[in-house]
Structure 1
Amino acid sequence: MEDAERSARTLWTLIEPVHAVTYFAPQARAAFEEAGLRGFWRGYFAGRAAPLGEVGPGPVTAAFFGFAPAMVARAVPDVWSMATPRRVLEARRVGAGAALEHLLSGYDRQVERAAAVLMPVAEGADCAGRVLAAANQALPVPQSAVDRLWHATTVLREHRGDGHVAALVAMGMDGCESLVLRAGIDLPRTELQPYRGWSDDRWQAARDRLAARGWLAPDGTATSEGRRAHRALEEATDRAAARPWQALGPATTDRLRGLLTPLARACAAALRFPNPIGLPTPTG
């Protein structure tokens, strides 16, 4: 299990850039706009929530966790009057596929091989208690290798994300507190607060609550206790994400890492570092 936990963390840094093209690549954003979803946040909220169906702001806020409810409510449910979930899912597939075709040009063999390894992992993942992962897992499996690669990485990153949310809840943290703690450790506040919609008052209130727990110093930096809490959170996330990787074995895991590393680095060209999702530069 310990090896699987380490693999879960390493592979997340390689899977996340492939998935994240759906938010940041121009081809993906163009596909959402073509579907009637103009503006970054309409495409983001509709694209990520579409596997759940025509849901309202409450379930989206709960599943995405880190966003201010008012920010979610500005997009949901209005996005469904612009494009149905079915139309959004097709735009998501087309946009992500076009982005990957561009970014991964020349990597056809690696894409096919990586998709062949990842699809059974994604299809076999136990999604009990993981709503976003289960909703994506239940979608029809696409045909092309590049679409299958994106589908598999999406199921597995949402599987990890659902587990991360469970770990945060178990530690008694809310969405704003999770960001404030991270800002006290290694990510700029400017990469977190404005992209999650929290007001200065709500941010300060979360900071005060964390300070009362002994996790933040007066200047907003994490204390040693706060850093220990964050390490415990990440370790719990890795444990929750490990199960799908257990059956791969060291040899297949190493092969998958070798296949994904150049793909992740190529996809990282569509991202910026640091970024609001806290993704480090892919190293393999």
Structure 2
Amino acid sequence: MTERALLERELWRTLEAVHAVVYFTPDAKAAYGALGLRGYWMGYFASRSAALGSPGPRLVTALFYGFAPRMVERALPDAWGFADPEGVLDARLELARSALAPHAGDGLDGAADLLTSVLAALDVSGRPLAAAHLDVPVPADPLSRIWHAATVLREYRGDGHVAELVSAQVDGVECHRLHGGSLVSQQREFRGWTEEEWAAAGERLRARGLVDAAGEQTPRGRELRTGIERGTDRSAAAALRTLDDGGLRVLRDVLGPVARSLATAGAVPYPNAMGVARP
């Protein structure tokens, strides 16, 4: 792997942590509850999809991937009867700002400017979640701008990852079984799949020679998963093309300590249901 590719991978892990803090802050349930949303998952689905307007469960299930439709249907469209999307977005940004502030250091203005320049040149064709978040008004203060940019870029990479999964014919439940790792047994509950659906996904992967009888990846399964990850990396690299290596290092040096502080403090736990490596 080239030095450039290593820098990009490190930055993607960092941006993931910066973005994801909003899902793990203990204040989330109360903040969304104050708007009328009921329970953690209604807050999650509403807050992550509010940039789309007031979408229904079919669209959100398709874009988020990996969630059982019934799990999304318990939250949407009911959420929009309790809270408007603009209010949800405002609450989400405030949650992110307050959760990141204790971990922020120096150099935020420069990092925010670099990320803003990335967004200005970003081509979001074929990336619906990134496009929706790119249309959200950019906040004023540097820390909020960084979180906003991290969110757009995280969804940009996620849109590309979903495209790779679809191309590989790995569906929304199979992707968890194929991923493996220490959390795989908990992903069924985290993502709302029944035991029958989980078992059927395992059978489909076994029939393709991707997992063995114990549910572990076969060499063919590892090759497919590696190909999906590499394809995601190649696709995501387009987002960073306007940054030279020096710009990537600036972002690494400013945001890397923030991400590591979040991880050390448990503000973003590892391992987690997102399946992303620790920064």
Same fold (TM over 0.5): yes
Where 2:95 maps in the other structure, the secondary structure is: helix
Say whether 1:281 aligns with 2:278: yes
Say whether 1:149 aligns with 2:151: no
Q: 1:49-60 counterparts in 2 under 5 A?
A: 49-60=49-60
Give me the whole-angstrom Cα distance separating, in 2, the residues matched to 1:30 and 1:97.
16
Matching residue of 1:189: 184
- What is the deviation of 1:233? 0.3
- What is the deviation of 1:257? 1.0
Matching residue of 2:241: 246
Q: Percent sequence identity over matched residues?
A: 45
Give me the whole-angstrom Cα distance separating, in 2, the residues matched to 1:215 and 1:66.
18
Say whether 1:216 aligns with 2:211: yes
Matching residue of 2:48: 48
Q: Runs ≥4 in structure 1, deviation > 3 angstroms?
A: 1-8, 27-30
Q: 1:263-278 counterparts in 2 under 5 A?
A: 263-268=258-263, 269=265, 270-278=267-275
Say whether 1:166 aligns with 2:179: no
Return the letter of the residue paired with 2:58. Answer: G
Give me the whole-angstrom Cα distance separating, in 1, the residues matched to 2:27 and 2:159.
27
Matching residue of 2:120: 123
Does structure 1 retain, via aligned residues, the 8 Å contact 2:7–2:249?
no
Q: 1:65-214 counterparts in 2 under 5 A?
A: 65-104=65-104, 107=105, 109-183=106-180, 186-214=181-209
- What is the deviation of 1:9? 2.1
Return the letter of the residue paired with 2:34. Answer: E
Q: How many residues align?
A: 277
- What is the deviation of 1:26? 2.1
Return the letter of the residue paired with 2:9. Answer: R
Relative to structure 2, which stretch is displaced further, 170-179 or 21-30?
A: 21-30
Matching residue of 1:235: 230
1:262 equivalent among 257, 267, 271: 257
Give me the whole-angstrom Cα distance separating, in 2, the residues matched to 1:240 and 1:229.
16
Structure 2 unaligned residues grouped into runs of 5+: none
Give me the whole-angstrom Cα distance separating, in 2, the residues matched to 1:2 and 1:56.
42
Relative to structure 2, which stretch is displaced further, 224-233 or 271-280?
A: 271-280
Give me the whole-angstrom Cα distance separating, in 2, the residues matched to 1:156 and 1:229.
24
Return the letter of the residue paired with 1:274. Answer: P
- What is the deviation of 1:3? 5.9
Return the letter of the residue paired with 2:42. Answer: R
- What is the deviation of 1:179? 0.5
Give me the whole-angstrom Cα distance separating, in 1, the residues matched to 2:186 and 2:109.
34
Return the letter of the residue paired with 2:113. Answer: A
Return the letter of the residue paired with 1:18. Answer: V
Structure 1 unaligned residues grouped into runs of 5+: none
Return the letter of the residue paired with 2:100. Answer: L
Return the letter of the residue paired with 1:164. Answer: H
Does structure 2 retain, via aligned residues, the 8 Å contact 1:26–1:99?
no
TM-score normalised according to structure 1 size: 0.93
Give me the whole-angstrom Cα distance separating, in 2, the residues matched to 1:188 and 1:92.
26
- What is the deviation of 1:31? 2.2
- What is the deviation of 1:5? 4.4
Change (3 A) 1:118 1:29: farther
Where 1:192 maps in the other structure, the secondary structure is: helix
Where 1:281 maps in the other structure, the secondary structure is: coil
Change (3 A) 1:230 1:156: same
Does structure 2 retain, via aligned residues, the 8 Å contact 1:15–1:153?
yes
Where 1:247 maps in the other structure, the secondary structure is: coil
Does structure 2 retain, via aligned residues, the 8 Å contact 1:19–1:153?
yes
Change (3 A) 1:50 1:250: same
- What is the deviation of 1:189? 2.1
- What is the deviation of 1:33? 2.2
Give me the whole-angstrom Cα distance separating, in 2, the residues matched to 1:79 and 1:8.
36
Does structure 1 retain, via aligned residues, the 8 Å contact 2:121–2:242?
no
Listed one character per residue, the Cα deviations across residues 110-131 of structure 1 (whole Å, up to 9, x for unaligned) are: 3222212111112321100000
